[in-house]
Chains A and B, each alone.
Chain A
Amino acid sequence: MKGWIYAVLGGGFIALQGAANARISADIGTWQAATITQFTGFVTALLIALAVGGGSFKELKRVKPLYLFGGAFAAAVIYSNVTAIQSVGLTLTVAAVLIAQLAMTFVIESRGWFGIAKQKMGLPQFIGIAMMIAGVIVLKS
């Protein structure tokens, strides 16, 4: 039950992030919103990292440098998310994001790109994505 609550809240926070970014962008601009939310998130995470201890930033030396830059995608993600929300609304934006996100994961995992262990992907994943696209068409009509 506790796991369910965390998962539902986690999804809610992701949706809230989109709505809040769109709202903040309307007032101060999209790049400003992206910079501020990422900056305040960074400071919060840094404070927690220092308080929790346990880890050290030296650990990052063992990571292949390319992967360290994953976070940088957030700039483009926030910009496209906010612009999409302002043009088609939150529901359609989230739907299109989820389809592309799952399709991307599907391709990477089924090919074993970026050192990810190859996973068996097949018909259910194709049907799942097709259903989601059908859902967007129904939603739009």
Chain B
Amino acid sequence: MWQGLLLAAFGGALVGLQNIFNKRVHEKASPWTTTTLVLGMGFAASLLMGLLMEGEQLFNLGNMKLWFWFSGVIGVGVVVCITQATKLLGPTYATSIALISQIGFALWWDTQGWMGLEKVPFTFNQAAGVLIIVGGILVFKLGGAVKLRSARKPLKDAG
């Protein structure tokens, strides 16, 4: 149990780091150049790791199904949606909503046993846990914003 959580946290820390790196690329390059580079690097690294870990076995795609070839489009969908949402709502609100949506969909699919996930019955604890997490996301993302707004007020009055 703890191993799974720690591994997920390790991945999450890398996602945070990657977001910062990608942000720095995006400052100098157009959105699609950035996305192409990011996914290209992901491909190169996965290929290299796969070859190191499995050698030629990497190319043995026994149970390959047609739709697997389209799974990469999901990542492109992420970029399109987040870019548009950020344009319309600003980064703080766009990411807050996207983070909350992530955990909401995750709970829904877990309780449906969708995509071969191990079906878990929906319980009160799960609903409460997810609601507390959602609250935490809102406090994290909006806590500073509220503080900034109140700090700005006296300046405005003075001006």
Contacts and interface: CB of A to CB of B under 8 A. Distances in A.
Nearest to A40: B72
B5 A11 contact: no
B33 A59 contact: yes
A79 B11 CA distance: 8
B46 to A, nearest CB: 4
Interface string B41-85: 111111111100110011011111100111111111111011011
Interface string B93-133: 11101111111111101100011111010000110111111
A129 B85 CA distance: 24
A56 B69 CA distance: 27
Contact of B144 (A114, A124, A130): A124
A13 B41 CA distance: 20
A71 B33 contact: no
B88 A2 contact: yes
Given A6-B88, A31-B49, A139-B126, A103 B21 contact: no
A42 to B, nearest CB: 4
Contact of B129 (A4, A103, A108, A140): A140
A127 B143 contact: yes
B125 to A, nearest CB: 6
Contacts of B143: 123-125, 127-128
B46 A78 contact: yes
Contact of B62 (A16, A19, A24, A28): A28
Interface string A56-99: 11011011101111111111111111011101111111111111
Given A19-B114, A38-B72, A141-B125, A13 B78 contact: yes
Interface residues of chain A: helix, strand, loop or mixed (majority): helix
A139 B35 contact: no
A113 B49 CA distance: 28
A90 B98 contact: no
A135 to B, nearest CB: 3
A96 to B, nearest CB: 4
Contacts of A72: 41-42, 44-45
A7 B132 contact: no
Interface in A24-67: 24, 26-29, 31-46, 48-49, 52, 54-57, 59-60, 62-64, 66-67
Contact of A15 (B1, B5, B44, B109): B109
Given A40-B71, A136-B133, 11 more contacts: A10-B82, A10-B94, A13-B75, A15-B101, A35-B46, A73-B18, A92-B4, A99-B9, A103-B16, A104-B15, A139-B128
11 contacts: A11-B97, A11-B101, A11-B105, A12-B101, A15-B103, A19-B114, A35-B43, A72-B44, A101-B12, A115-B24, A128-B141
What 5 A-B pairs have minimum CB-CB distances, sorted nearest first? A124-B143, A128-B140, A11-B101, A70-B21, A55-B30
